[in-house]
Structure 1
């Protein structure tokens, strides 16, 4: 019986699908490529390797030995009963999204500082106004929660705007790539909040990061501070943030929320000082991202076939 490899990812182009098929077949796999898991459940349940977001299959398949999700987040694979085969490996595509999310973060920050949401309303009303006071990244004190691929790519881009300081926050206390002016650990990070003009978040959703930014942390930020979250919505206590936004004390740009999608009647849509994007920062609509995801999977497939573990292996207990 041939070893089976299933690909269930609709964003892949024919070029990417061909690359995966040719590489996997050379390794002796029977390959089935589909746009969604529903196309061929039987093949999925028999697959040794799956490239795609298929948590339902992982939960029932005893044949599965490795699943690679094309996303960075692995929330759907962290429950105790997430894998029918407890020895199955989980890898993600963290490291592929830095460019697109960093650019999205800079876009949101400039949009807020340059008052573009208000100016779009002014232009929509066919008015000619030029009097809104704007702010600059230059001279801003910026704190980044998360110094992984996304945090580093964001720091590199922000450096060109001459901020006063780029402070990174992580668990190790190390300065990856030398991208930051200083690094604080999770035990120290709250001390920098009163000196933070811009708080950027690109953290995974874990037990340790749940509501890491809550009422206390929000209260420590100076008036007019900007918060941007492109990681996981659970990192912020959304109820407490809403209260600050209603009071007009803070500004925020949110690409992620505690519950998604937002319903049409959710009052969050109408919040003042809030810029919303519908979880598009890390979408696979940028071809560079799709290229990187495919390259990373194929490199890990080579390792897997040599009997090695994938480079992007996830520790399911830690959640990343």
Structure 2
């Protein structure tokens, strides 16, 4: 394995302790003749381009806060390794069409996002938001105020069936749930492989399940696809959770249905982020909210770094990269 001539790694100072544990940074350093770690809270695109022109790196490693890459890229750059997931803010489709290899965190963080989805499902089933209001805000007890439910034996529908959805299905396997999915853009073989039944419409997904979890990517066929009609198909006491993309759901319709109190909701993503202070979703005792934090927890961000390290080793050895973002993948990513 030959050494990479130069690696330029841009990272925000507050992210370095989590994404670059000392042992991973040292391992990256062993792969290159020159490692430049640029701790910068957020250079503009021009400053970033100038730094690349100055250093002539072979590999650029970036993460949250890395500015958009110039086009064309300096000829020295042969690979871009992104520590995050959604990279449309730094890479354009034209970069990929020009043949620049780009990877992201792939499925390295799928289990932590799936874990958060399960957390929201459990919070909604156990009516955690209600008890939070009752015991903290009202200083009360009220154990009989709502009918709680268990995850065991529930019918669970999953909108989407990417890495995170599959990790979610594996996480809830011990609960003996009957799982179905609506994701017609996915390879049908994947569903059978994971023991998941498919349904032929979103209406069926909502009508036939006690819990529906949104994990769909944002694309033309999913944008605004979940509206009032679908939400009203959930049985009374049913649960809707979204950790996918906010724009998949008609948020105004969701707020209207949720305000009636007939379903329970857990959300981590929204159409506008941060969620506006006057959002009608706030303050509802049947709506559990988290601030787009389902991604890797601080202690697990090293999983993404370890995945990037494996790719850098593969690049140095001339071996195939994992989680390469093709133009087709780029089109359906958010």
Q: Which residue of 2 aligns with 1:135?
A: 149
SS in 2 for 1:50: strand
Q: CA deviation at 1:51?
A: 2.8
Q: Deviations over 1:199-235 (max 9, x none)?
A: 1122222333222323443343333321111121122
Q: 256-265 or 202-211, which moves further after superposition?
A: 202-211
Q: CA deviation at 1:136?
A: 1.8
Q: CA deviation at 1:195?
A: 0.9
User: Are 2:266 and 1:253 equivalent residues in the alignment?
Assistant: yes
Unmatched tracts of structure 2, length 5 or more: none
Report how many aligned residue pairs link the two structures: 314
Q: CA deviation at 1:135?
A: 1.4
Is the contact between residue 12 and residue 290 of structure 1 (CA under 8 Å) also seen in structure 2?
A: no
Unmatched tracts of structure 1, length 5 or more: none
SS in 2 for 1:160: helix
Is the contact between residue 224 and residue 250 of structure 1 (CA under 8 Å) also seen in structure 2?
A: yes
State the alpha-carbon separation in 1 of the partners of residues 174 and 96 from structure 2. Answer: 48
User: Are 2:324 and 1:313 equivalent residues in the alignment?
Assistant: yes
Q: CA deviation at 1:176?
A: 5.8
Identify if the C-alpha distance between structure 1 residues 60 and 162 changes in structure 2 by more than 3 Å, giving closer, same or farther: same
Q: Which residue of 1 aligns with 2:190?
A: 175
State the alpha-carbon separation in 2 of the partners of residues 176 and 192 from structure 1. Answer: 15
Is the contact between residue 175 and residue 182 of structure 1 (CA under 8 Å) also seen in structure 2?
A: no
SS in 1 for 2:172: helix
RMSD: 3.0
Is the contact between residue 255 and residue 280 of structure 2 (CA under 8 Å) also seen in structure 1?
A: no
Q: Which residue of 1 aligns with 2:9?
A: 6
Is the contact between residue 62 and residue 84 of structure 1 (CA under 8 Å) also seen in structure 2?
A: no
Q: CA deviation at 1:249?
A: 3.3
Q: 1:104 aligns with which of 111, 116, 130?
A: 116
Which structure 1 residue ranges, 4+ long, deviate > 6 Å from structure 2? none
Is the contact between residue 75 and residue 319 of structure 1 (CA under 8 Å) also seen in structure 2?
A: no
Q: Deviations over 1:270-294 (max 9, x none)?
A: 3452111001111441x2x323211
SS in 1 for 2:69: helix
